[in-house]
Amino acid sequence: MDWLKLVESTQHCQRNWDFEKTIPDETIDWLFDIGYAMPTKQNQPSVQIVAFKSRSSISLMSEMAYEPKNELPNSGKTNNPQTNAPLLFAFIKRKDLLLHSSGSTIDTEIGLTSGAIALAANSIGLKTGFCACINDKGDISKKLKKLLSSKNIRIKEIRLLLGIGYPKEGLPSNQSESITFPSYSKDANKYYPNFLPDTEKKIIL
């Protein structure tokens, strides 16, 4: 396996999905196992992983996945289509599950957990898209809160979403049904002049 190519595949946020192709339950279980096998401080269960599989639950969650500050007057909100995927994972910060910690490392642990799941999914031909824009306002949030409360989860505890599925053939990853989203290269110096120069990217002391 070429790990660099795998990481580069995972790097791109998938904005369109082929809903004709399903993800087997065995694969979902495997992704759960990978996520929960990743390290956490003292192996405490600080991160809870939830998979949204039904279209109704995914639609509710996806409706809440937008960044309010990006809205323009009279334009409505722009949702993040990577969340409207055939399968949607949510990574939840659960301090109440901890025994001996303040929970200061949970965000790091969510990064490790979600990254492992994304890499695993891409390794078997699936595509992924991360989203950290999660809102809890409006009428739709009431339905979502009711759904989540049945499992003792609050929207505010969800820190990250990961859409997973097969892409639509012939469409670039940043093209949704109606919008072409910006796509940025890892050649960060082109966009961010103050980014680390090449001579400082790989320092060995």
Strand partners, 164: 87, 128
Residue 188 has pLDDT above 60, yes or no: no
Q: What is the pLDDT of residue 42?
A: 84
Tens digits of residue pLDDT in 32-64: 999 999 998 888 788 899 999 999 889 888 888
In a domain, 65, yes or no: yes
Which three-class secondary structure state does DSSP give residue 160? strand
Q: What is the C-alpha to C-alpha distance for residues 62 and 18, in angstroms, rounded to an integer?
A: 17
For range 135-150, the mean pLDDT: 72
Residue 17 has pLDDT above 70, yes or no: yes
In a domain, 108, yes or no: yes
Residue 129, phi then psi, degrees to nearest 5 = -150, 125
Domain of residue 185: give its range.
3-200
The torsion defined by the Cα of 148, 151, 154 and 158, in degrees rounded to 10, comes to: -90
In a domain, 205, yes or no: no
Which structure tokens are listed for 151? 């499992």
Binning pLDDT at 50, 70 and 90, where does residue 73 land? very low
Tens digits of residue pLDDT in 80-110: 888 999 999 999 987 777 777 777 888 899 9
Residue 76 has pLDDT above 60, yes or no: no
Binning pLDDT at 50, 70 and 90, where does residue 29 land? very high
The CATH code of the domain that includes 167 is: 3.40.109.10
In a domain, 129, yes or no: yes
Q: What is the pLDDT of residue 187?
A: 65
Q: What is the pLDDT of residue 72?
A: 44
The conformational region for residue 152 under phi > 0 = left, psi -120 to 50 = alpha, else beta, is left
Q: What is the pLDDT of residue 64?
A: 80
If you write DSSP's letter for every residue of 27-95 in order, what string do you get?
Answer: HHHHHHHHHHHS--GGG---EEEEEE-SHHHHHHHHHT---GGGPPTTS-----GGGSSSEEEEEEE-G
**Residue percentage of the chain with pLDDT more than 90:** 35
Q: What is the C-alpha to C-alpha distance for residues 82 and 131, in angstroms, rounded to an integer?
A: 7
In a domain, 38, yes or no: yes
The number of domains in the chain is 1
